[in-house]
Structure 1
Amino acid sequence: MQDCSKKDIEEMLGEEGINVLYLYTPMCGTCQVAGRMLTIVQELTPHMTFRKIDLNYIPDLAEKWSVESVPCLLIFRGSNIEQKIYAFHSVPYLYETIRSIS
């Protein structure tokens, strides 16, 4: 999962289908663990698009989406947020949650 830019996010919001956006901050230890978990989930769901971005670079979008903390996983259908996840629990939990939306 590679970092994306604000422009990439705006393009993503114009796409159809399910898109997954992972919000993190670089100094967050929990974010590091969550990122590794998502890397595994991404391998299990190659038909879905995963992106990540440092929350510090998109404060306006974070406010618009009412992001309360990091790590945060936003699952979009088109430009609408289908689900917002803060507690990542486990790889199976993330996999099943994401899979149930698609």
Structure 2
Amino acid sequence: MKEVKDLKVLPEVGRGYVFIYSPFCGTCHLAREMLGIIEKMNDEDIFYEMNASLFPEFMQEYQVSSVPCLLIWKDRKVEEKVYAFESVTKIFNLMKEKERL
């Protein structure tokens, strides 16, 4: 995963996935493991990861209500927010569905 240290690194064009977490959140650690499996399957960094505590203005602007959260990003806009990381398969299938659009 690519760590967001500056908001300028977020994808400007096309599709991107931003994983928002808190370092003190146990569920966030499990969600990160799920996303890590998807990256290993594709053998590349797919996700940006952002520590919610470091970007409070971003959290407010994009109305992120809790962590973990996966923002599905398209053309500098949030297309969808995923809060329930139920399984690797669910996230993977959601990503495949979005890529067809």
User: TM above 0.5, one fold?
Assistant: yes
| 2:55 is equivalent to residue 64 of structure 1 | no
Structure-1-length-normalised TM-score: 0.87
2:3 partner SS:
coil
Residue 42 of structure 1 and its aligned partner are, at CA, apart by 2.1
What number of residue pairs does the alignment pair up?
99
| 2:94 is equivalent to residue 101 of structure 1 | no
Match of residue 23 from structure 1: 20
Structure-2-length-normalised TM-score: 0.88
Runs of 4+ in 1 over 4 A off after TM superposition: 45-48
Match of residue 82 from structure 1: 79
Structure 2, unmatched stretches of 5+, are none
Residue 49 of structure 1 and its aligned partner are, at CA, apart by 3.4
Whole-Å Cα distance in 2 between the matches of residues 25 and 19 of structure 1? 20
Structure 1, unmatched stretches of 5+, are none
Letter in 1 for 2:54: Y
RMSD: 1.7
Residue identity (%): 29
